[in-house]
């Protein structure tokens, strides 16, 4: 199978235009139960279509090129309902070049484009110039008998001319004869009527592609897995649209072609989703903007079965929040209707190593929030996993800068104190009642930390002058929350050191 591409120009946002590729190729598609059928994939920027080839409706044609007599009753509006071209001055017969739909000639069902008019009411007009033939037809009375003979080879050219004319509004569409002359193409070998008639010519069957399924790609979902499981389909994938429409199982025998299709479709989905994200961000402040949104699969443990089930969730990183939706937000109001929301500065994000995978799912990550069970997610590609990781770092920086500082109640040397994490100052410990400062260190002075997993925490700082390591011991009843928040501040500080990263954070 070969994927073909043609160029087109499509408006994407406001007055911005860019050239987009329309890609087509033959694949096999099934519903997972019946035998696959061959279809064409048609991929544009916004829609993936499954198409089948069907013959065009065949218009009735005269069976042969013998002379026929056809009776027409002239209408008060529309006349005979036909136009003619040709004439003796061009050494051509008077040819019917157009038949107006639902008018007199069309209603007979016996006249066709390409018919040459031999007689009008028994009078030969084969030697008539064009204008004389027009006058004869106009003055032939209300009941007109035409003797015609079909010239098959002239039909395609006349129909092509008809298509061009029909694109422009004809101010005199009620006339029964055209005042335009028929001229043979410059590459024609002869101008005589006999040279364009062939009884044995066979017209090729004309076909067109008809849509079977159209899947909108805005916030659509692509998967290679058998839905809800960790089992990969061999050389197959499925695309599900936001409107619930599915392509079914698309199969490609060639793995390289499969990879191409996955990339093309995924790139379009990402492009459209990023566009929608930018449109949403026009309604949010810089500190509340969306850094990422897209589909992930969340592992759902089932105690009654020896394997995991996966549920598709729509994940977003917005301002200080990690948000999970059952279905994507379609408007600004939907952003307040999430099923779950976590603060990123109280949450840990960790990419799962391949050796730690719980099943056959690849590209997995963990989200750990204080006081809750860890959540295990997977995405379809390594590229998507890295996009989420990068967006996570951006969100953490945004959240910490917006938060500014966070204070936790701790115990130091048996006394109640307050440990403050401050974006500009660093670590500060204050006495509980008097709020007097006990010690202060910059984030850059932290050389390590350790904890017992329950409540005790040790922080190891280096004195800037003596270079001596000083250890501070603390106890905190919400130790995990403190550790996650501390990790967020340190991550944001490290990221902010990179000028390139800071530039990417600018609105």
Do the domain assignments include residue 486?
no
Predicted local confidence at residue 177, as pLDDT: 42
Which of 45-54, 305-314, 450-459, 467-476 shows the lowest mean pLDDT across its residues? 305-314
Q: Which long-range contacts (CB under 8 A, 24 or more apart) does 120-124 make?
A: 120/144, 120/145, 120/146, 120/147, 121/145, 122/147
Which of 6-10, 175-179, 323-327 shows the lowest mean pLDDT across its residues? 6-10
Predicted local confidence at residue 186, as pLDDT: 34
Strand 321-325: give its sheet, edge to edge.
340-343, 321-325, 309-318, 290-300, 375-378, 364-369, 347-351
Do the domain assignments include residue 464?
yes
Predicted local confidence at residue 253, as pLDDT: 86
Higher pLDDT: 455 or 503? It is 455
Give Rg (Cα) of the chain: 38
CATH code of the domain covering residue 162:
2.30.42.10
Of 368, 401, 434, the position where a domain reaches its end is 401
Higher pLDDT: 88 or 305? It is 88
The β-bridge relationship of strands 123-124 and 143-150 is: unpaired
Q: Within 13 A of 59's CA, how many CA atoms are on the CB side?
A: 12
The pLDDT confidence band at residue 176, using thresholds 50, 70 and 90, is very low
Do the domain assignments include residue 505?
no
Predicted local confidence at residue 359, as pLDDT: 87
Predicted local confidence at residue 15, as pLDDT: 36
The pLDDT confidence band at residue 63, using thresholds 50, 70 and 90, is low
Parent domain of 298: 283-401
CB 148 within 8 A of CB 113: no
Predicted local confidence at residue 207, as pLDDT: 83
Predicted local confidence at residue 228, as pLDDT: 84
Residue 154: pLDDT over 50: yes
* pTM as predicted: 0.66
Residue 11: pLDDT over 50: no
The pLDDT confidence band at residue 175, using thresholds 50, 70 and 90, is very low
pLDDT tens digits along 13-25? 333 334 457 899 9
Higher pLDDT: 52 or 187? It is 52
Do the domain assignments include residue 60?
no
Residue 155: pLDDT over 70: no
CATH code of the domain covering residue 435:
2.30.29.30
The dihedral built from the CA positions of residue 283, 288, 291 and 297, taken in this order, carries a sign that is negative
Mean pLDDT, the chain, rounded, equals 82
- Coil, helix or strand at residue 255: helix
The total of structural domains in the chain comes to 4
Distances (CA, A) of 327 to 216, 221, 393, 397: 15, 11, 24, 27
Predicted local confidence at residue 452, as pLDDT: 93
Of 280, 304, 338, the position where a domain reaches its end is 280
């Amino acid at each position: 199978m070969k994927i073909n591409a043609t160029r087109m120009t499509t408006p994407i946002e406001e007055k911005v235009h860019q050239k987009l590729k329309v890609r087509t190729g033959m694949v096999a598609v099934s519903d997972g139960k019946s035998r696959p059928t061959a279809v064409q994939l048609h991929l544009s920027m916004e829609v993936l279509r499954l198409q089948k080839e069907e013959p065009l409706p065949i218009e009735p044609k005269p069976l042969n090129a013998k002379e026929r007599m056809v009776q027409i009753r002239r209408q008060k509006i529309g006349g005979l309902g036909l136009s003619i071209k040709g004439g003796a001055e061009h050494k051509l017969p008077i040819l019917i070049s157009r038949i107006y739909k639902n008018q007199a000639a069309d209603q007979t069902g016996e006249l066709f484009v390409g018919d040459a008019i031999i007689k009008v009411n028994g009078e030969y007009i084969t030697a008539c110039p064009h204008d004389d033939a027009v006058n004869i037809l106009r003055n032939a009375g209300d009941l007109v008998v035409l003797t015609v003979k079909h010239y098959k080879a002239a039909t395609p050219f006349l129909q092509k001319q008809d298509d061009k004319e029909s694109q422009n509004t004809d101010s005199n569409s009620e006339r029964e004869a055209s005042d335009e002359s028929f001229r043979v193409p410059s590459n024609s070998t002869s101008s005589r009527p006999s040279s364009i008639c062939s009884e044995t010519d066979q017209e090729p069957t004309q076909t067109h592609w008809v849509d079977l399924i159209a899947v909108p790609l805005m916030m659509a979902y692509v998967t290679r897995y058998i839905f809800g499981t960790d089992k990969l389909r061999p050389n197959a994938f499925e695309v599900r649209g936001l409107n619930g429409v599915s392509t079914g199982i698309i199969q490609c025998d060639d793995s390289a072609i499969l990879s191409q299709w996955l990339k093309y479709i995924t790139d379009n989905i990402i492009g459209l989703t990023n566009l929608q994200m930018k449109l949403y961000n026009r309604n949010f402040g810089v500190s509340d903007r969306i850094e990422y949104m897209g589909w992930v699969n969340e592992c759902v443990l089932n105690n009654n079965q020896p394997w995991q089930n996966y549920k598709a969730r729509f994940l977003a990183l917005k301002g200080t929040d990690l948000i999970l939706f059952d279905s994507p937000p379609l408007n600004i109001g939907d952003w307040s209707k999430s099923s779950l929301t976590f603060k990123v500065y109280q949450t840990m994000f960790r990419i799962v190593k391949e050796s730690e995978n719980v099943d056959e799912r690849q590209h997995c990550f963990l989200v750990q929030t204080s006081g809750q069970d860890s959540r295990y997610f997977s995405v379809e590609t390594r590229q998507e996993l890295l996009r989420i990781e990068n967006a996570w770092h951006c969100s953490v920086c945004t959240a910490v800068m917006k938060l500014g500082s966070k204070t936790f109640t701790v115990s130091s040397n048996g006394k109640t104190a307050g440990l403050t994490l401050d974006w500009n100052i660093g670590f500060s410990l204050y006495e509980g009642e008097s709020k007097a400062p006990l010690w202060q260190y910059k984030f850059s002075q932290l050389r390590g930390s350790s904890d017992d997993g329950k409540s005790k925490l040790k922080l190891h700082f280096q004195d800037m002058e003596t270079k001596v390591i000083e250890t501070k011991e603390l106890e905190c009843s919400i130790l995990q929350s403190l550790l996650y928040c501390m990790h967020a501040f340190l991550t944001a500080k490290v990221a902010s050191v990179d000028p390139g990263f800071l530039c990417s954070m600018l609105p």
